[in-house]
Chain A
Amino acid sequence: MALRTEELILNMGPQHPSTHGVLRLIVTLDGENIVDVQPDIGYLHSSVEKMMEARTYLQNIALVDRGMDYLSAMANEEVWVLATERLAKIEVPERARYIRTIMLELQRISSHLIWVGTFGIDLGAFTAFLWAMRERERIMDLFESSTGGRLHHVYFRIGGVNEDLPEGWTHRCLEFCDYFMDRLPEYDELLTGNPIFLARTQGVGVLAKERAIAMGASGPVARASGLDYDVRKAHPYEVYDRMEFGVPVRSEGDCFARYLVRMEEMRQSIRIIRQCIEQLPAGEIRSKVQVALKVPKGEVYARTESPRGDLGIYLVADGSDKPYRVKIRAPAFSNLYALTEMMRGWKVADVIAILGSIDIVLSDVDR
């Protein structure tokens, strides 16, 4: 006797603790199985691209900090100053480039730590969150003493960085590296070898490599699906071409692979930071750039590897002191689109695990 079934539409969000912001998921369910997921975004849309057209190149550094991905503010600053410097042909002093690289990698660690913590909460492991916050607090202190801000730094400038590192900063940074490398195995004990964690993540939310490419996924999500692509290796910016580091790639494409990729990325980031501090040259930190910089006419696409993936800015300048058009290619926007593919066929309880594993920041999705 055939059972008469009916599809149920479940509305998750916009206010939901595990959507990491204001995201609404319209989940179509057949019993407990997910038939279709339609993310509804735009709740945090602030039209940063429009606002940037009304501000000068210097003022926009303060805007990209908070208008885009707020968990990795300096990664946003980096892509903005990179685009401007390429178009205006501004040289950056060596020391500033090293400092930028150190900051970007610290930012990557702090962003991944937030992700580990919140992912743990999503799966019911609260301890990981507290531990990740404890480690992140050290990074915040490092940021605070060098940039003056904890979340929004406004530290990078067109042609360098704002202020030199304070005395003893590199020593404290190395101390943090040692401390962090000691702590990382604890996360392995807590999560990687945890049978409950494994059961919730292994084999869940698989995204095939071809689908990841077709859907535009990038960053750890694509690398967990077997796509060996990292902007830092493919198109090195700052001093990444002089650094030795590995790019973790997994072929499974499930939530656990994404977790492993991010954990390994943090180790590699520590490697980069140590090399940078070792090679850190003395000298200027900022080349002379006028406050109301006029960028010559032209168009350029600058790309960086932000903690969430391939972050790019297509900048159109018209020769005035304000950009004519800025297109921000947000990694989380494309990664969220791949969610529809990942979720199909899984159980409703896996929604949280899969959503948590792609590490979205809604400010980055909506911009």
Chain B
Amino acid sequence: MSWELAEKVRARFPDVELFPRPGQDEPHEASPAPVPSASAAPSPGAPPGEAPKPPPRRPAHEAPPAFLTPGVFVPGELLLAICQVLAIDREFGLHYLSFVSAIDRPEANQFEVLYHLYTFDRKDELVLKARVPREAPAVASVASVWVGADWHERETFDLFGIVFEGHPNLRRIMMTDDWIGHPLRKDYVFQEPAWLVEAAKQRQKDIEGLGLGERA
């Protein structure tokens, strides 16, 4: 779990932006020696270096977020081009896509589309994040690069409403086809479907007076 891979991606594509790291205020300036991450897991591949400086003690809600898994922010329009290189190029060898998902950030008015990639050659991982606006969210599909992205993108479309352009079969996978809304958005309010309300009312009528289901 070293940041080596993320640094390499940044060296290859200047447009990407590294996740902010503890002890580094300037994430844009790629440091010459990669700082070992504060991950709890032992990383045999990580070069022995100085321990990261302990961050100053601050209340939990004020401290900057700690990204323990290395990753980069990718501009949405470059995503497909970068993924094609990452999956095929021997330098990266990220053949395995663990999942595709998203994070809703209503305060920034955007979604962060999340990709987790893995390489078996050096046993390292990389997270890609593409920021898309909350209104009309759309990003290029990577199903042509990793076949397994098919269902993961369908799931993300279903639960977040993010449109993956160029996806072969983009329709709901978890919810029913006539479902209204996208449940994992932060502003989603659950509404009983009309047929369910009807069915429940009918059931109430049927069992009335039978003494079933009523609280004593």
Contacts and interface: CB of A to CB of B under 8 A. Distances in A.
Interface of A: 41-42, 45, 47, 49-50, 85-87, 89, 211, 213-217, 227, 229, 234-237, 241, 294-301, 303, 310, 312, 314, 316, 318-320, 324-325, 327, 329, 333-334, 337-338, 366
A317 to B, nearest CB: 8
A316 B183 contact: no
B69 A301 contact: yes
Interface string B133-154: 0000000000000111011100
| Most B-side CB within 10 Å, residue of A294, A327, A338 | A327
B124 to A, nearest CB: 10
Interface of B: 1, 19, 38-42, 59-61, 63-69, 95-99, 101, 103-104, 114, 116, 120, 123, 125, 127, 146-148, 150-152, 155, 159, 172-176, 183-184, 188
B99 A329 contact: yes
Contacts of A298: 65-68
Contacts of B120: 213, 227, 229
Closest 3 A/B residue pairs (Cβ)? A216-B148, A298-B66, A297-B65
B151 A337 contact: yes
Given A41-B174, A85-B40, A234 B123 contact: yes
9 contacts: A85-B40, A213-B96, A216-B96, A298-B67, A298-B68, A312-B99, A314-B99, A314-B127, A329-B116
A260 B214 CA distance: 53
Contacts of A300: 39, 67-69
Contacts of A296: 60, 63, 66
A299 B172 CA distance: 27
Given A42-B175, A50-B183, A241 B148 contact: no
A327 B111 CA distance: 14
B151 A333 contact: yes
B45 to A, nearest CB: 11
A45 B183 CA distance: 11
Nearest to B98: A329
A45 B174 contact: yes
Contact of A327 (B67, B101, B175, B183): B101
